[in-house]
Amino acid sequence: MSYLAGIDIGGTKCAVSIGKTTGKEGIEICYKEKFPTPDEPLEAVGKMTETLAAMVEAHDEIVLEAIGISCGSPLDSKKGLIMCPPNLPNWNHIDVVTPFARRFGVPVQVQNDANACGLAEWLWGAGRGTQNMIFLTFGTGLGAGLILDGKLYCGTCDMAGEVGHVRLSEDGPEGYGKKGSFEGFCSGGGIARFAVPYIESWVKGGGQTGILKPGKSPDEITTADIGAAAGEGDELALDILKKAGENLGKGLSMLIDILNPERIVIGSIYLRQEDILREPMLEVIRRETLLQNRQVCQVVPAGLGEQLGDYAALSVAGNLICAGRC
């Protein structure tokens, strides 16, 4: 049994957690505290450090073995620096590792949130037991955490796994600053933007759709609106999500043939809409990938479900412990 700490740094809120590993190679969150992210980076780091210290001091049984930090990219995991991610624009080369290492005297590491979620699914979720696994966020944006040959692969400058930037089409909804990108077609914002011309054409032709609530225009709808309408059997909503599934299949096909994973784990939107997305996705994968590669690869929803984010930072700490024991 080990006690691990997880620090989740977001643009609007931070979370400090302590988890206890269990005998079944799982983890149980013992204590957690959330608070709004302070405006000043150093103030934020100080508040997170003091919050964790108070948790440890309040419970005599806790002896931390490692601390993991999860944050958006870009960052430098080797130097422990956060380097102006879009949701934290004033965090310019902020050292988040040293304050925790000095205060608690245990191994500390920071990873981007996609890598952290990938580690969580690999250690405790749907990727457990694999040597080659890809995790896709498929939420607000689209990023990947790569487990290759039994290790997290970060790349030369911590930018491996930015699959959302890959272009699937010469034209299409914009995501990650690029029209027709994987993120443009397969993310919360992307699916909503992709849907706008279909909704406009549908309504112009006299069609009715539950996607559009009274008083809303097509460019105000969200992917959640589409998902809710699809859940009620709305024809247009189902068609839009099926097209999203086809584009998901295009992106996954490239990953399957390039990286030859044994499992692809997908969170967020796929987790909620698997019943609709899965078959059109698989149709494209069957058409586009090499037989040997697709025969050894499963595509599954995140095993940790909607709680995945709660375990992400803890998994960075868990990976430090695993690496130290290997």
**Which tens digit of pLDDT belongs to each residue from 135-193?**
999 999 999 999 999 999 999 999 999 999 999 999 999 999 999 999 999 999 999 99
pLDDT at 1: 81
Pick the CATH number of 133-303 from 3.90.1150.10, 3.30.990.10, 3.30.420.40, 3.40.1110.10: 3.30.420.40
Mapped onto helix, strand or coil, the DSSP state of residue 65 is: strand
Instruction: Give Cα 132 distance to the centre of its chain.
Output: 17
What is the 3-state secondary structure of 128-150? CCCCCEEEECCCCCCCEEEEECC
Q: Where are the domains of the chain?
A: 3-113+307-325, 133-303
Tell me if 3-113+307-325 shares its fold with 133-303.
yes
Q: Supply the DSSP symbol for 154.
A: -
Could you tell me which of 326, 325, 323 has the C-alpha nearest to residue 68? 323
Q: Supply the DSSP symbol for 38.
A: P
pLDDT at 24: 67
pLDDT at 240: 97
pLDDT at 306: 86
Half-sphere exposure of 20 (CA within 13 A, CB side): 11
CATH of domain 3-113+307-325: 3.30.420.40
pLDDT at 324: 57
Single-letter amino acid code for the residue at 93 = H
Single-letter amino acid code for the residue at 251 = G
pLDDT at 326: 45
The per-residue pLDDT string of the chain (326 residues; one tens digit each, 9 = 90 and over) reads: 899 999 999 999 999 999 999 876 789 999 999 999 999 999 999 999 999 999 999 999 999 999 999 999 999 999 999 999 988 999 999 999 999 999 999 999 999 999 999 999 999 999 999 999 999 999 999 999 999 999 999 999 999 999 999 999 999 999 999 999 999 999 999 999 999 999 999 999 999 999 998 888 999 999 999 999 999 999 999 999 999 999 999 999 999 999 999 999 999 999 999 999 999 999 999 999 999 999 999 999 999 998 898 899 999 999 998 775 54
